Amino acid sequence: MIWLTWRQFRTQAAVMSAAVTALAATLAITGPQLADLYRAAGSSLVDRLSSSDQTLYYAGLLVVLAVPAVIGMFWGAPLIARELETGTHYLAWNQGVTRTRWLATKLGLGAAAAMTAAGLAALAVSWWSSPIDRAVNGGGATDTYFPRLDPVAFAARGVVPMAHAAFAFVLGVTLGLIIRRTLPAMATTLVVYTAVQISAPMWIRPHLAAPDRTTVPIEPGGAPISIQEGAKQIVAHPEVPGAWETSQQTLNAAGQPAPVPSSFADCLHTESDPPTLQQFDRCIADLGALGYKQQVTYQPAGNFWALQWAETGLFLGLALALTGFCTWWIRHRLT
């Protein structure tokens, strides 16, 4: 079974291995120079990066984020769906191999390879990007590079990509087992995996570790403030290097959650639309004089590994649950 599974799986594995090797080789060549630049520049590194460094930074993020999705689509979904579609699974079961062993071998070999590929890609990218991550977490002001806790960078760092790959692979196998057709299973895997990846940082990840909160005054010259939804919502940006802001809440003078008063919007549009900087500062000052403050909830940079291990455990648990479902399905629902 191991030999047969490997023969069916080796083309996809070879393509993925070649891609990861090419990425790792490119990063290995340019990484030492980036590390030397960080030792010389410190947190100002982000202002001295070249366009090629920026391209490699985003290419690395894209590759690590894409690896689990590609694995789920092209490794997981066809693994069993293709055999069910062509009927060759009956031949395997008539060779003295039980359904459970057939499934366990395919899942075991595929999941191990998926986690290895994602882990190596994440390791290479995390190593290469570590000078940029340290510069950003150390207070290097930038709108171009992400803190490690940012939802985009977080999923491409540490050990989480391995768990994402295992989950995506087993998800693809599960959908292929249920749908029994290769192309629909591949498309469904991409849709479901993408939905999970969008949902996780919005509703799950913020609660995997205890957040910190800070209350900042609403005043000119204080924490940078922006307005949204036609001046119905205020967003403050306190200086917390490397943090991931998860929620904002406006508080009134009594310290209770309250909507932004309509007088603030009226003030902004009294003289000009859009308001000038002087007009904006005056309206902010008037709002602050009424006692309004902004409460910011965030995950501090120090929670990176706590969140990494918690999310890794969560996705591995989901992969194990799907494995159990596949075992039940193939024994009781597949004829």
**Residue 170 shares a structural domain with residue 65:** yes
One domain, residues 171 and 277:
no
Report which of 128, 187, 197 is spatially closest to residue 160, judged by C-alpha positions: 197
For residue 287, name the pLDDT band (cuts at 50, 70, 90): very high
Claim to verify: residue 223 and residue 260 sit in the same structural domain: yes
Report the pLDDT value the prediction gives residue 31, as an integer from 0 to 100: 95
| Contact predicate 171/192, CB 8 Å | yes
pLDDT at 1: 66
Are residue 5 and residue 31 in the same domain, yes or no? yes
Q: Are 219 and 125 in contact (CB under 8 A)?
A: no
* Residues 165 and 281 occupy one common structural domain: no
Give the chain's domain count.
2
96 and 183 part of one domain: yes
Q: What distance in Å separates the CA atoms of residue 92 and residue 104, rounded to the nearest whole number?
A: 13
Residue at token pair 């940079």: 301
What pLDDT band is residue 180 in, cutting at 50, 70 and 90? very high
Range among 97-106, 165-174, 272-281 rated most confident: 165-174
| Residue written as token pair 């120079």 | 33
Q: Do 239 and 194 reside in the same domain of the chain?
A: no
Are residues 117 and 38 part of one domain?
Answer: yes
- The reply to whether 129 and 190 lie within a common domain is yes
Taking the C-alpha atoms of residue 173 and residue 107, their distance in angstroms, rounded to an integer, is 8
Least confident range of 88-97, 161-170, 249-258: 88-97
Q: From the CB of residue 213, how many other CB atoms can be counted at a distance below 10 Å?
A: 11
Q: Confidence band (pLDDT; 50, 70, 90) for 6?
A: confident
Residue pLDDT, tens place only, 188-238? 999 999 999 999 999 999 999 999 999 999 999 889 999 988 788 999 989
- For residue 106, count CB atoms less than 10 angstroms from its CB and return exposed for 0-12, middle for 13-18, buried for 19 or more: buried
135-139, 220-224, 285-289: which is most confident:
285-289
Helical spans, DSSP H, in the chain? 2-41, 51-70, 77-86, 89-93, 99-137, 151-154, 160-179, 182-199, 262-268, 277-289, 304-332
Residues 294 and 307 placed together within one structural domain of the fold: no
pLDDT of residue 140: 63
Do both 295 and 180 map to the same domain?
Answer: no
Instruction: Find which of 7-11, 89-93, 177-181, 275-279 is predicted with most confidence, using mean pLDDT.
Output: 177-181
Range of the domain at 245: 212-299
CA 67 distance to own-chain centroid: 12
Supply the pLDDT for residue 300.
95
pLDDT tens-digit readout, 297-331: 999 999 999 999 999 999 999 999 999 999 999 98
pLDDT band at 293 (very low <50, low <70, confident <90, very high): very high
If asked whether residues 261 and 135 sit together in one domain, one would say no
Q: Comparing 84-93, 260-269, 326-335, which segment has the lowest mean pLDDT?
A: 84-93
Q: How far apart are CA 186 and CA 23, in angstroms?
A: 25
**Verdict on whether the full-model pTM lies above 0.85:** yes
